[in-house]
Homo-oligomer: A and B are copies of this chain.
């Protein structure tokens, strides 16, 4: 896309607000529990599950179900592709920000 704007390179799977949050938190925490994500992102369980499913289908996260004591828990980790995808998103956002912050030419 030689002539396109930086946003044309953004992947909507990653850029979407909630999914970007999931990837960022999983990146910070390495392994993150469903309930923690839900609180941090202020989501219903159904809405969070929907976005996790999109990310899992794209191969960007692994979802693991288990127990903590007797309580069922769901853990989310970034895959290697997820780490790469987040880094690419961040790189493209930086290009976009730099363009927006370049003073416009007065014509």
Chain A residues close to B by CB (< 8 Å)? 1, 3-8, 10, 12, 15-18, 20-21, 24-25, 27-30, 39-42, 86, 90, 93-94, 96-97, 99-102, 104, 107
Contact = CB atoms under 8 A, between A and B. Distances in A.
A6 B22 CA distance: 11
Most buried by B among A1, A21, A94: A21
DSSP majority for the A interface? helix
Q: Which 10 A-B pairs have the closest CB atoms?
A: A7-B21, A5-B40, A10-B17, A15-B17, A5-B21, A24-B100, A8-B42, A93-B93, A7-B17, A28-B104
B12 A96 contact: no
Contact of A8 (B4, B8, B21, B28): B21
A27 to B, nearest CB: 6
